[in-house]
């Protein structure tokens, strides 16, 4: 029976299995198949996603392969990026605390700070409907209800909905249907957001390819962008997720949306192990 060395990490409860490329080569399996197997919470290790470092890239210090638990790829993952940044620095794949990572969403720049915090420059949000992609209107009718929605891409598509009710209950009921709505041809992440104050929000997420998760970094960014552009919050916001808080900074506004957005939060090891295929 084949065995590979793996590392389990989590960022605000969003959990990932990280596999070195040399270990992956031992499996003789497509990455998507390995991701489904290893992320299965009953027959595998259990995780929201699988990450494999990609060295020798041309346009950045390092790259990654990122897979959701269902075996699909994702352009970007903020919580995964924090775990990845800590992992590659601690394992000496990178010898500096601010570096660039090649992703399917473009070049992302994480920075390791003090007190186990990682700050990630998540790049600029995308609002063009064709680029998200989104083929619809600002109102979406789902099951028994019509929602005012805010589509935006953070390298992956998001549908942000600002509500006054319990966002968890809405996520459970409507999230699975919005994720696969025909207005989002590549499916979408779904965020229900409740405003607590101009500096704090509560967010629950139904992630594309994963379902309900404890946290979503790109979703936290998308939610704050929607709140700022609707004059509901300030530029620095605490986002309360099921797995704990993250902090988002965005200096954009209605007159200037072309600003980078930053995600700040922790990343932690869960365990290292030998995994039997």
Q: Could you say which residues of the chain have pLDDT below 50?
A: none
In a domain, 126, yes or no: no
79 and 152 share one domain = no
Structural domain containing residue 8: 3-113+267-276
In a domain, 122, yes or no: no
pLDDT recorded at residue 230: 96
191 and 150 share one domain = yes
In a domain, 119, yes or no: no
In a domain, 127, yes or no: no
pLDDT recorded at residue 1: 80
Residues 6+ apart with CB under 8 A from 30: none
239 and 190 share one domain = yes
Residues 6+ apart with CB under 8 A from 275: 3, 4, 5, 6, 38, 44, 45
* Domain CATH code at residue 102: 3.10.310.10
218 and 146 share one domain = yes
The total number of structural domains that make up the chain: 2
In a domain, 131, yes or no: no
pLDDT recorded at residue 23: 97
73 and 146 share one domain = no
99 and 144 share one domain = no
In a domain, 132, yes or no: no
170 and 197 share one domain = yes
104 and 148 share one domain = no
Can you read off the two tokens belonging to residue 173?
């009921």
271 and 174 share one domain = no
155 and 98 share one domain = no
- Residue 32, helix vs strand vs coil: helix
What is the chain's alpha carbon radius of gyration, rounded to the nearest angstrom? 18
221 and 183 share one domain = yes
Report the predicted TM-score, pTM, of the whole model to 2 decimal places. 0.91
**pLDDT per position as a tens digit, 59-79:** 999 999 999 999 999 889 999
User: What amino acid positions are annotated as catalytic residues?
Assistant: 77, 216
In a domain, 129, yes or no: no
Residues 6+ apart with CB under 8 A from 267: 9, 10, 11, 79, 82, 83, 85, 86, 116, 118
pLDDT recorded at residue 75: 87
247 and 272 share one domain = no
In a domain, 36, yes or no: yes
**CA–CA separation, 231 and 228 (whole Å):** 5
């Amino acid at each position: 029976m084949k065995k590979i060395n793996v590392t389990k990490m989590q960022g605000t409860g969003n959990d990932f299995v990280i596999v070195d490329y040399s270990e992956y080569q031992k499996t003789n399996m497509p990455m998507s198949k390995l991701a489904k197997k290893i992320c299965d919470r009953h027959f595998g290790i259990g995780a929201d996603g699988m990450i494999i470092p990609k060295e020798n890239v041309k346009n950045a210090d390092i790259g990654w392969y990122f897979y959701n638990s269902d075996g699909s790829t994702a352009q970007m993952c903020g919580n995964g990026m924090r775990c990845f940044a800590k992992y590659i620095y601690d394992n000496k794949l990178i010898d500096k605390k601010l570096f660039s990572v090649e992703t399917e969403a473009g070049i992302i720049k994480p920075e390791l700070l003090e007190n186990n915090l990682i700050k990630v420059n998540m790049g600029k949000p995308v609002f063009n409907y064709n680029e998200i992609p989104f083929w619809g209107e600002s109102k979406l009718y789902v099951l028994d209800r019509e929602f005012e929605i805010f589509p935006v891409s953070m390298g992956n598509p998001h549908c942000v909905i600002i509500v006054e009710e319990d966002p968890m209950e809405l996520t459970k009921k409507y999230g699975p249907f919005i994720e696969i709505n025909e207005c989002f041809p590549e499916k979408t992440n779904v965020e229900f957001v409740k405003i607590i104050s101009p500096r704090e929000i509560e967010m629950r997420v139904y992630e594309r390819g994963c379902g309900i998760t404890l946290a979503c970094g790109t979703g936290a960014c998308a939610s704050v962008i929607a709140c700022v552009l609707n004059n509901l919050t300030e530029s620095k916001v605490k986002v309360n997720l099921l797995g704990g808080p993250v902090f988002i900074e965005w200096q954009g506004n209605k007159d200037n949306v072309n600003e980078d957005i930053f995600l700040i939060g922790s990343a932690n090891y869960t365990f290292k192990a030998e995994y039997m295929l």
